[in-house]
Chains A and B, each alone.
Chain A
């Protein structure tokens, strides 16, 4: 199973800290996991071309995401929404890019007041792009972090559950799809 962990911001440290934890929680599973922190790459703005026609970092990031079975997205909240850097990644991909992929969300925010941003803003995009979404997500607030560490034990439990549930969902859907496709007999 090919897992991509995407840290969707070029600003701050909370989302990257959370996604480092997600990488650690993946250790107990036998999967190929790749961490992409958008802060480490120079990605161009989407200009409408097919993703295979980009070059450099833009090509690497889009191709790596397209090759994934599972995508764990980490995102902060900017101006009551997802950051433009993350939206740009979606805009670079084809319309049905997440078909047959399982996608889960970890959101970091300065305040609990942004709790509904995942359901109201991020999930509609993921749905449109045909993702299988793990219904639960993990929402992490400022007070759960100290010195680039997550200090709330509950968050550790919930991140581990999210990782386990995501992989289980992906594996189950893959089996169901294979069963269905075997019926076609071609």
Chain B
């Protein structure tokens, strides 16, 4: 793995992510303040580190019911509040930002965190931010490709000469400060479709794959398409890390986990996506073949190991805070992750190198 910071033999990394949603509690309808939400995200990062969790990331969404539009600022606070845990974005919407400023921000966070920072760059599924930040939605595809490529160039080259369509040319430009180890891991955020994964494969870029629901074997097809495309284009698939991201929630029993999390997912999706989460599909989380990691710690362990066997991925990150989940619930999740889930995953996925 030369394109990430994965140590061989250490096994599957386990992380947490938030989209930075700021939604009311589904039963009471009460919503905490944006101040409290942001501070709780930073608190969760600290607790995650104490529990031994490998990675934490914060997303960027510019729309109602979100609080971390300035996600790099929140990541800076997390960098300062923690010491060991890796930090990233989930994701940074590179299409509507200037890659130069993004790189300056993330390399600064990397220096604050002493080399723990990564960028996951996506292009947003909701598009209100194009108007807000002054871009034309018709350029959706080209904006992402051009800006992602520039971001990579800045990472690879200390002096950049570049020209494109969506910002002024760069001539002998130095983008400073440089990150601690000279470069940052940069991932391409991919939705569920093989076509999107193949684009990451063409470029030979590490892939962060989101999966909301469905059979794990379905996503195996997407991952295979990524690796095959990478290989066909002269990249070594074994050098390209893969991470997966999806809903996560654990409680003492699987039924309790489903009961506690479902209203948050369902009501939260209604507000942010216009439709709830089908109950039938959520109920499938009790089956090891479903990719939704909601259940008892033992159930989650079995599912993550099953997914690891299918995908051969290097990192899984779970979203446990969607839709107004309370801090008490989040603490309980982190406790169960630290005491039961992490030891088992490490035991079964790490090998002597």
* Bound CA span A64–B167, Å: 40
Consensus secondary structure, chain A interface: loop
Residue A50 CB within 8 A of the other chain: yes
B232: interface (CB < 8 Å) = no
A99 to B255 Cα, complex, angstroms:
26
For B138, the chain A residues whose CB sits under 8 A away are 47
A186 touches B274 (CB 8 A): no
Are B127 and A49 closer than 8 Å at their CB atoms?
A: yes
Q: Which of A53, A94, A186 contacts B275 (CB 8 A)?
A: A94
- Whether B126 lies near A50 (C-beta < 8 A) is yes
- Closest B residue to A47 by beta carbon equals B137
Whether B255 contacts A52 by the Cβ 8 Å rule is no
Task: Identify the closest chain B residue to A50 (Cβ).
Answer: B126
- B126 contacts A52, C-beta separation under 8 Å: yes
A185→B127 contact, CB < 8 A? no
B82 vs chain A, min Cβ distance (A): 34
Query: B274 and A51: CB pair below 8 A?
Result: yes
Q: How far is the CA of A48 from the CA of B130 in the complex (A)?
A: 13
B255 touches A66 (CB 8 A): no
A110 to B281, CA, bound (A): 45
Contact residues in A for B125 (Cβ distance below 8 Å): 50
Alpha-carbon gap, A180 to B137, bound state (A): 41
What are the residues of chain B within 8 A of A180 when measuring CB–CB? 280
Indicate if the CB atoms of A94 and B279 lie closer than 8 Å.
no
- Given known pairs A49-B137, A50-B127, A185-B255, the reply for A66 and B262 (CB within 8 Å) is no
Number of A-B residue pairs with CB-CB distance less than 8 Å in the complex they form: 40
Answer whether residue B128 sits at the interface, using C-beta atoms and an 8 A cutoff: yes
Contact in complex: B128, A53 (CB < 8 Å): yes
Interchain CA distance A151-B141 in the complex, whole Å = 54
Tell me, yes or no, whether A184 is within 8 Å of chain B by CB.
yes
Taking each of B138, B274, B279, which has the highest tally of chain A beta carbons within 10 Å of its own beta carbon?
Answer: B274
Q: Taking the complex as formed, is B258 at the interface, i.e. its CB lies under 8 A from any CB of chain A?
A: yes
B283 interfacial contact with A, CB 8 Å = yes
Residue ID in chain A nearest B294 by CB atoms: A186
Most buried by B among A50, A51, A181: A50
Judge whether B128 and A94 touch: CB under 8 Å. Answer: no
Q: Is B259 among interface residues, defined by CB-CB distance under 8 A? A: yes
| Residues 33-61 of chain A, each 1 if its beta carbon lies under 8 Å from chain B, else 0 | 00000000000000111111100000000
Report how far A185 CA is from B262 CA in the complex, Å.
Answer: 11
A51: chain B residues at CB < 8 Å are 274
**Given contacts A186-B255, A186-B258, A186-B259, A66 and B274 within 8 Å (CB-CB):** yes
Contact: B279 with A184, CB < 8 Å? yes
- Are A186 and B283 in contact (CB-based, < 8 A)? yes
Whether A53 contacts B127 by the Cβ 8 Å rule is yes
- Interface residues in A152-186 (C-beta closer than 8 Å to B): 180-181, 184-186
* Most chain B beta carbons < 10 A, residue from A47, A51, A53: A53
Give bound CA distance, A66 to B262, whole Å: 21
Known contacts A50-B127, A50-B274; A186 and B262 CB within 8 A of each other: yes
Chain B residues in 8 Å Cβ range of A66: 274-275
> B286-310 interface mask toward A, CB cutoff 8 Å, 1 = contact, 0 = none?
0000000000000000000000000
Shortest Cβ gap from B93 to chain A (Å):
14
Q: Mark A80-119, 1 if CB is under 8 A from B, else 0.
A: 0000000000000010100100000000000000000000
Contact status B274-A181, CB under 8 Å: no
18 residue pairs from A and B, CB less than 8 Å apart: A48-B140, A49-B137, A50-B127, A50-B274, A53-B128, A66-B274, A94-B274, A96-B275, A180-B280, A184-B258, A184-B280, A184-B283, A185-B255, A185-B259, A186-B255, A186-B258, A186-B259, A186-B282
Which of B's residues lie within 8 Å of A, judged by CB?
125-128, 137-138, 140, 255, 258-259, 262, 273-275, 278-280, 282-283
Besides A53-B127, A94-B274, 14 new A-B residue pairs in contact (Cβ under 8 A), listed by A number: A47-B137, A49-B126, A49-B127, A49-B137, A50-B125, A50-B127, A51-B274, A66-B274, A94-B275, A96-B275, A184-B258, A184-B283, A185-B255, A186-B262
Chain A residues proximal to chain B, CB less than 8 Å: 47-53, 66, 94, 96, 99, 180-181, 184-186
